[in-house]
Structure 1
Amino acid sequence: MIDITAYSVERVRDPFGILPGQRYEFVLDIEVDEEDEIHSENGLFVRVIYAVEPERTGIVKYELFERTTETYLPFDLEDDEVEAIDAFCRDRLSEADGNG
Structure 2
Amino acid sequence: MIKPEAIPQYTGDLALLESAYGDLKTDASHIRSTGKDVHSQFQGLAAYYTAPEAEQLFASTKPVADRADGFADDLEKVSGALSSYGTEIRPSSTSSSS
Q: Compute the TM-score of the two structures, normalised by the length of structure 2.
A: 0.29
Max radius of gyration: which structure? 2
> Greater share of helix residues, 1 or 2?
2
Taking CA–CA contacts closer than 8 Å with sequence separation of 6 or more, which of the two structures ends up with the larger relative contact order? 2
